[in-house]
Amino acid sequence: MGLGHSHAAQPGQNERPLWIALGLTTAFLIAEIIGGILTNSLALISDAAHMFTDSAALAISLAAIRIGKRPADSNRTFGYYRFEILAAAFNAMLLFAVAIYILYEAYQRLHNPPEIQSGTMLMVAAFGLVVNLVSMRLLSSGKDSSLNVKGAYLEVWSDMLGSIGVIIGALVIRYTGWTWVDSVIAVAIGLWVLPRTWTLLKASMNVLLEGVPEGLGIADVKDAIARVPGVASVHDLHVWSITSGKASLTVHVVQGTAVADPQALLMAIRELVAREYDIHHSTIQIETTPCEQAAEEHSFGPTLAHEHADHDEHEGEKR
């Protein structure tokens, strides 16, 4: 038994803040590349590299939102939501590549520190800090509801820290003449970004591998369903994410002998998982006796379509 579901595009994905942030970031990216070349500052070039990934992340985020709005079709029955997660994973890998390059370049420069024009370096970094703060403000409202926007926000946030580091480095060089500080700041930016990039990549891979959504205990979900009046037992439970904030659930439930209305039991379970776990896309199979899956060991992942077909055929034969 089950009910139809809607696969409409996720609400709340406002494109306007992303467009504004993309325009600001791209404009400053050009200015920072020029400034880094003129001042011979690796810290500025490092910051410009992060600015480039910021621009790429924002552009990909916009593309992901546009593609994600496409309706479901016969080939992609869940629509194009997963493109958002692919974009977030790509952004994370791009950040890893940039950080590794900066660390390598900094190592090279520590052996032969170049002359740095700290005054221009300071002005460019200060302007970059303003751009980062504005972009972060624009993206902050959507970062908790979308891994895609969160990826763009994290890149802008890390670049904001980079701008602060460049400002500090410029002041130190200006008043001490220690040009090696420029490379140290560049390394610090790279090392600061890497753990946060790993967090984003891990969250993206969990969705791509159809793992249980973070913060949700599948044993708790199973126990909660088992406590619904009229439920005799629960098996073949799977919970996974299609994209950020859009979890799906499938489960087989054996009804008790006293249950007179299986449809009412189904609705009670659907309301429970929606209310307690914010899962609004659920497929629940009510059985009078446990199917063969109840005795089999299986992994907690989304059930395959052919498995559902086999179960439904089996149940039809029994009935």
**Distance in angstroms (rounded) separating the CA atoms of residues 93 and 209:** 17
Same CATH topology for 15-208 and 218-318: the answer is no
Q: Is 231 helix (H, G, I), strand (E, B) or coil?
A: strand
- CATH superfamily membership of 218-318: Cation efflux protein, cytoplasmic domain (3.30.70.1350)
pLDDT (tens digit, 9 = 90+) per residue, 34-47? 877 877 777 777 66
Tell me the one-letter amino acid at 85.
I
The tokens describing 298, both together, are: 């299986």
The tokens describing 289, both together, are: 């006796």
The tokens describing 112, both together, are: 């032969």
Q: Is the pLDDT of residue 204 over 50?
A: yes
Was domain 15-208 assigned CATH 3.40.50.2000?
A: no
At residue 301, the pLDDT reads 41
The tokens describing 69, both together, are: 């709005």
What global pTM score does this model have? 0.61
What ranges do the domains of the chain cover? 15-208, 218-318
pLDDT (tens digit, 9 = 90+) per residue, 133-173? 888 887 777 666 666 677 667 767 777 877 788 888 888 88
Q: Are 173 and 166 in contact (CB under 8 A)?
A: no
Q: Is the pLDDT of residue 299 over 70?
A: no
**Helix axes of 15-39 and 42-68: crossing angle, nearest 10 degrees:** 160
At residue 56, the pLDDT reads 73
Percent of the chain whose predicted confidence (pLDDT) is above 70: 78
